[in-house]
Amino acid sequence: MISFSIDPEGNKYKIPDKDETYIEFKKIKDIIDGEKKNGKKIVVIQGLGFVGAVMATVVADCRVNDTHPYFVIGVDLPIPNSFWKIPVINSGKSPFLAKDPEIEKIFNRTVNEKKNLITTWIPEVYSDADIVIVDINLDVNKTEIGRAENSSVEIKSFENAINIIGKYINTDSLILIETTVPPGTTENIVKPIVEKCFIQRGIDLLKNPPLIAHSYERVMPGDDYVNSIKRMWRTFSATNKEASLKAREFLSNIIDTKTYPPCELRTPTDSELAKILENSYRAMNIAFIYEWTLLAEDIGINLFEVIDSIKVRKGTHDNMMYPGFGVGGYCLTKDPLLAHWASKNIFKREAHLEFSVKSVNVNDLMPHHTFDLLMNGMSNDIKRKKITILGASYRKDVDDTRNSPTITLYDDIKKAGGYPEIHDSYAKIMSQRPDIIINCDINSSLENASAVIFVVKHKEYEELPIEKVISKLRKNGCIIDAFNVLSDDKLAIFKKNGFKVLGVGKGHIKFL
């Protein structure tokens, strides 16, 4: 039976069979041998997701003394949900949409012009790597939304991926972990797996201890995606001195370390904890503002204006979060839980990170509040009524729908008997939910809707002509501004035209 992998545009790519895999192996081996003769170091990126794919281009694009020192090979699995990225990248295209114009340029430049980036599914390439960068997913399984304390980390697939590297990698090659992992993973999971592989291969660990380091990125999809990798501070640490020197040299080659000097911590566990703490802090701030959002709505306050007045205190309060629709993406929805898991399973602690876990619960449940506003605005009657949700991605002007809070709102509306329709001009598919259809036509999405909910601050929605919205909606409908997309002037016009208008953190609307 022939199996296919389908990209977000609907293009089908055949999963390779054994014969095609053998041909690929021979082709890749010849390419690597040629690049080595030309003096290139081989960097293999394991995982071609939102970080790994761009990381591959950044490494391939870097210049040291007017030369490109690295030949980069991206590796992903030949399975339906990921194989399509390999032929897409090999054509010189990005596997995802992004607002950053450099994304399109850097993929074409490194694949088609410089020809120092290719992708494959062949694991044997690890045996030729000078550096292996681990950028695979490490997911958290939440069995019940709002009960994050019962979640589990899908560590087995991560262990399997490390085991594959350990079977092939050379003793003088660096393994650089960029995947966000539970604190303690590098020293207590990765290192023992690689050591076991070395022993099975007859390698003397005293003479050739594995060279392993951890360094986390702060990549931000959006306007400056590429620079969020190239021009951003890095924290790192390694299991031994030789690995530390190799990691520092590599990071200095791909990152502007003169402007953004790296910070080396004492152990990889320190570095892993830094990444988790950084994201948990942000998740906690978002959860903290939620109860103030409810207070502001009840007492008629515009919480956005209040927070703006506080943010003038630079250095102490300028990072205060605004009210919002909910939390999505890959980091804030799970990272506090990685620390919670490590505390129990790696370090065997009885005490747990209760505040951090609760912040995840608050943030996961937050979209229910927007649904409550909708029901209020519709007098608790949405049965058989079209409800348009503007925004599928988890943040503005990108196509990333991982863990999008829009999914929770969609399910709430459907469960209550409404007909939810999602519009997004960036996102084509809803990650984790292929049953949810995303409409890219704003006109048909708005047509005859009884309510419109603005949940993502796409520029398109901020600039959407209000007359156009009013002309297409049913009269006396409902407008919900869940992410401060609409100005007070626009909200007032909606009210003047007979619409019930509500907003997250916008209790002052009743006075407009």
DSSP assignment of 19-72 equals: HHHHHHHHHHHHHHHHHHHTTPEEEEEE--STTHHHHHHHHHH--BTTB--EEE
What is the C-alpha to C-alpha distance for residues 25 and 28, in angstroms, rounded to an integer?
A: 5
What confidence score (pLDDT) does residue 222 get? 75
For residues 363 and 480, membership in a common domain is answered with: yes
Cβ burial of 225 (10 Å; 0-12, 13-18, 19+) is buried
What is the C-alpha to C-alpha distance for residues 306 and 296, in angstroms, rounded to an integer?
A: 10
Lookup: tokens for 298: 């009840």
What confidence score (pLDDT) does residue 1 get? 60
Cα of first residue to Cα of last residue in the chain, in angstroms, is: 63
Contact by Cβ (8 Å): 66, 97: no
- Domain coverage including residue 384: 287-511
- Asked which of 213, 228, 243 is the last residue of a domain, the reply is 228
- Asked which of 180, 207, 228 is the last residue of a domain, the reply is 228
For residues 200 and 295, membership in a common domain is answered with: no
What confidence score (pLDDT) does residue 250 get? 97
Q: How many CB atoms lie within 10 A of CB 207?
A: 7
Dihedral sign computed on CA atoms, order 436, 144, 139, 218: positive
What confidence score (pLDDT) does residue 67 get? 92
- Asked which of 228, 249, 271 is the last residue of a domain, the reply is 228
For residues 201 and 291, membership in a common domain is answered with: no
Q: How many CB atoms lie within 10 A of CB 144?
A: 11
Lookup: tokens for 471: 């002309």
What is the C-alpha to C-alpha distance for residues 496 and 399, in angstroms, rounded to an integer?
A: 34
For residues 207 and 342, membership in a common domain is answered with: no
Q: Does residue 280 belong to any structural domain of this protein?
A: no
- DSSP codes joined into one string, 358-392: HHHHHHHHTHHHHHHHHHHHTTT--TT-EEEEE--
DSSP-assigned letter for residue 398: B
DSSP-assigned letter for residue 216: E
Lookup: tokens for 392: 């599928």
Contact by Cβ (8 Å): 370, 294: no
For residues 323 and 204, membership in a common domain is answered with: no
Q: How many CB atoms lie within 10 A of CB 131?
A: 23
Contact by Cβ (8 Å): 95, 7: yes
For residues 212 and 131, membership in a common domain is answered with: yes
Q: Does residue 257 belong to any structural domain of this protein?
A: no
Lookup: tokens for 426: 């960036």
What confidence score (pLDDT) does residue 224 get? 87
Q: How many CB atoms lie within 10 A of CB 494?
A: 23
Nearest to 279 by CA among 196, 343, 220, 365: 220
The secondary structure of 113-152, three-state, reads HCCCEEEECCHHHHHHCCEEEECCCCCEECCCCCCHHHCE
For residues 305 and 441, membership in a common domain is answered with: yes
For the chain, helix, strand, coil in percent to 5 are 45, 15, 40
Q: Does residue 88 belong to any structural domain of this protein?
A: yes
For residues 35 and 162, membership in a common domain is answered with: yes
Cβ contacts of 55 within 8 Å, gap of 6 or more: 45, 133, 135, 178, 217, 229
3-class SS of residue 223: coil
Q: How many CB atoms lie within 10 A of CB 236?
A: 25
For residues 310 and 397, membership in a common domain is answered with: yes
To which H or E segment does residue 86 belong? helix 85-90
Q: Does residue 77 belong to any structural domain of this protein?
A: yes
For residues 119 and 224, membership in a common domain is answered with: yes
Q: Does residue 246 belong to any structural domain of this protein?
A: no
Q: Does residue 505 belong to any structural domain of this protein?
A: yes
Q: Does residue 147 belong to any structural domain of this protein?
A: yes
Q: Tens place of pLDDT for every residue, the chain, 512 residues? A: 669 999 988 899 999 999 999 999 999 999 999 999 999 999 999 999 989 999 999 999 999 998 999 999 999 999 999 999 999 999 999 998 777 899 999 999 999 999 999 999 999 999 999 999 999 999 999 988 889 999 999 999 999 999 999 999 999 999 999 999 999 999 999 999 999 999 999 999 999 999 999 999 988 877 888 999 999 999 999 999 999 999 999 999 999 999 999 999 999 999 999 999 999 999 999 999 999 999 999 999 999 999 999 999 999 999 999 999 999 988 889 999 999 999 999 999 998 899 999 999 999 999 999 999 999 999 999 999 999 999 999 989 888 899 999 999 999 999 999 999 999 998 988 988 989 999 999 999 999 999 999 999 999 999 999 999 999 999 999 999 999 999 999 999 999 999 999 999 999 999 99
Domain total of the chain: 2
Contact by Cβ (8 Å): 110, 116: yes
pTM: 0.91
- DSSP codes joined into one string, 253-281: HHS-TTTS--EE-SSHHHHHHHHHHHHHH
* Domain harbouring 372, CATH code: 3.40.50.720
Buried b (16+ CB within 10 A) or exposed e, 156-172: eebeebbeebbbbbeee
Lookup: tokens for 65: 């003394």
For residues 177 and 294, membership in a common domain is answered with: no
What is the C-alpha to C-alpha distance for residues 274 and 235, in angstroms, rounded to an integer?
A: 8
What confidence score (pLDDT) does residue 339 get? 96
Q: Does residue 396 belong to any structural domain of this protein?
A: yes
For residues 305 and 221, membership in a common domain is answered with: no
